[in-house]
Chain A
Amino acid sequence: MARRAKSRTIAVRIISMAMTGYYRTMVRPRTSRPLSMLKYDPVVRKQVLFLEQKRGGNK
């Protein structure tokens, strides 16, 4: 049976670099480079750098 085609976009998790465990989930095209942005972290109540989490091997 043919495997389902991979979707064009993927949901990724960008996590706060303030090490608070806070993260947001975003959707990006599969082929684009990983997401990184400045966003507000409510735990430290500041705008901090969010970087995309490396995805697991089987995804």
Chain B
Amino acid sequence: MAQLSNPDTLVKVAKTLPPRLLEFFRRFPPTNDYATGPQRPTLPPPSESPSLTPATDILKASIVWTDPTFNPFQPWKNPITGRWRGAMYGLRRQADIVNMARRYGVEELLPHSAKLGWVKEEKREQHGLRVKGTGERQRVKGKEWERTQKGRLEKRREAMLKMPEMIQTWKERGHGRGWKKWPK
């Protein structure tokens, strides 16, 4: 990010970008204000901009282009009508753009998206592979035979170590005639 914050570097980088990415950045210039979740813009207080009439304020907040936090990768709620508008870019197109940006090293300039590398990594860390037991502080329970396998093998190993001695005793006691310890 440190490199990309320099305007000269940005211009240099921009010259190498493919038209599709350039067009995206033209429509949505990189800012730090992008919302990271679904957006619910609030109406700006009228005292802040006295030159605007309340009607204009409402109009301004209800248009995505004048909302500085508008994120084309997230759904947006119109403050006047209360209706939700879907993300401007669907998940497939988001993935296309993110992948392209990653190839050109400008992924961090994009608005927040579920397709961004670090967002995905964070999610992966939190939830694991969505397979029960692979997340943080989780362990795979396993089948019962898997859980008891170690103990059983150990028991078997010990029994096999004692086996020659046991067979010797069995032979000495008349092949079972004097045997007392029958298994249950």
Interface residues of A (CB under 8 A from B): 15, 17-20, 33-38, 43-44, 46, 48-49, 51-54
Contact = CB atoms under 8 A, between A and B. Distances in A.
A32 to B, nearest CB: 11
Nearest to B176: A36
A18 B170 contact: no
Contact of B170 (A15, A36, A54): A36
Given A18-B156, A36-B175, A36-B179, 5 more contacts: A19-B159, A34-B176, A36-B170, A38-B167, A54-B184
A11 B182 CA distance: 16
Contacts of A52: 182
Interface string B145-177: 000000010011011100100110010000111
B159 A35 contact: no
In the complex, the 4 A-B pairs of residues with the closest C-beta atoms, listed nearest first: A36-B176, A19-B159, A19-B155, A19-B156
A49 B163 contact: yes
A36 B160 CA distance: 17
Contacts of A54: 182-184
A51 B179 contact: yes
**Most A-side CB within 10 Å, residue of B158, B179, B183:** B183
8 contacts: A17-B163, A19-B156, A38-B167, A49-B163, A49-B170, A51-B183, A54-B183, A54-B184
Given A49-B170, A51-B176, A18 B182 contact: no
Contacts of A17: 159, 163, 166, 183
